[in-house]
Amino acid sequence: MQWQGEGIIIGSRKQGENNLVLEVMTLERGRCMGLVRGGRSRRQQPSLQPGNHVSLAWRGRLDEHLGAFTIEPLQQRAAALMQAAHSLHALQTLCALLRLLPERDPHPRLFHALDVILDHLDDPHIGALLLVRFELELLGELGFGLDLTNCAATGATEDLIWVSPRSGRAVCRTAGAPYAAKLLELPAFLRSNDESNSFLATQAMLPQPIEEIVKGFELTGYFLHKYIYEPRTLNWPPARDSYLNALRRSQHSASENVTD
């Protein structure tokens, strides 16, 4: 058995003295694992870091076996992503989220979304907006998509400011007012959800206050915990909390620079 394709590295672990088991997100085969012989060598290590986009060939005796990868770098992002705390923690968060997917289950939308996000993590603002969208996309791919297009109670498409924690559907101001204390806030930048091209649409949006971005992460985090982490008894990824803290610090530093 053998196949070729492109992938984005999302993790690795040591195997013996010289080898690595590499974990990659591929376009056509989803999340895959493979052995890289000599992967711990100084020559290969720079190419085998999370975030790098690679061309790969997999070979194994049977499809269900671990198999072995041959890797050629296409785009080496890892070094740049490690330069700032917010981009490093965002990368770690993305890798942790992708591990929620079944192995060898194709998710081309998530692959393309990941590729876009990794090219924009140097910008804390754009990176944060894209990462929130990625979490929404992931929920949808796992069968727990949120409906933010119209009000669950009235069908209205305007003035959607809440989300029902029970149904994951948007709620308009009028219908939700009596239950406001029990509803989740829907930040403004998620109220117009362009499903056809959501990631590119997000890049064109005006800057958002950090408080609004955090509300977006609180919304997606609630449903990630409810539908995925809690039922599977998985540990919450600490990188996600570290990312939000780094995002707040970067915003604070930017505000101080403007003031000076």
Q: What is the pLDDT of residue 203?
A: 43
Mean pLDDT to the nearest integer, 132-141: 96
Mean pLDDT to the nearest integer, 130-135: 95
Same domain membership, residue 42 and residue 6? yes
Same domain membership, residue 209 and residue 115? yes
Same domain membership, residue 87 and residue 63? no
Q: Residue 131 contacts by C-beta under 8 Å, 6 or more apart in sequence?
A: 90, 93, 94, 117, 217, 243
- Report field, pTM of the whole predicted structure over 0.75: yes
Same domain membership, residue 214 and residue 138? yes
- Final residue of a domain: which of 35, 56, 76? 76
Same domain membership, residue 60 and residue 6? yes
Q: Which residue has the higher pLDDT, 62 or 223?
A: 223
Same domain membership, residue 237 and residue 144? yes
Say what percent of the chain tops pLDDT 70.
Answer: 90
Q: Which residue has the higher pLDDT, 79 or 204?
A: 79
Q: What is the pLDDT of residue 205?
A: 56
Q: Which residue has the higher pLDDT, 206 or 204?
A: 206
Same domain membership, residue 104 and residue 219? yes
Structural contact between residues 209 and 252, judged by C-beta atoms closer than 8 angstroms:
no
Q: What is the pLDDT of residue 204?
A: 44
Q: What angle do CA 208, 187, 147 make, to 5 degrees?
A: 135
Same domain membership, residue 100 and residue 141? yes
Q: Do the domain assignments include residue 162?
A: no
Same domain membership, residue 61 and residue 144? no
User: Cα-Cα-Cα-Cα dihedral of 22, 240, 140, 9, to 10°?
Assistant: -20
Q: What angle do CA 65, 35, 77 make, to 5 degrees?
A: 130
Structural contact between residues 162 and 183, judged by C-beta atoms closer than 8 angstroms:
yes
Burial 246-257 (b: 16+ CB within 10 A, else e): bbbebbeeeeee
Look up the domain containing 221 and give its range: 81-148+186-259
Q: What is the pLDDT of residue 16?
A: 86
Q: Is pLDDT of 153 > 90?
A: yes
Supply 24's token pair.
């990659």
Q: Do the domain assignments include residue 133?
A: yes
Q: What is the pLDDT of residue 178?
A: 96
CATH number for 33? 2.40.50.140
Q: Is pLDDT of 197 > 60?
A: no
Mean pLDDT to the nearest integer, 55-80: 92
Same domain membership, residue 194 and residue 112? yes
Same domain membership, residue 63 and residue 34? yes
C-alpha to C-alpha distance for 203 and 31, rounded to whole angstroms = 26
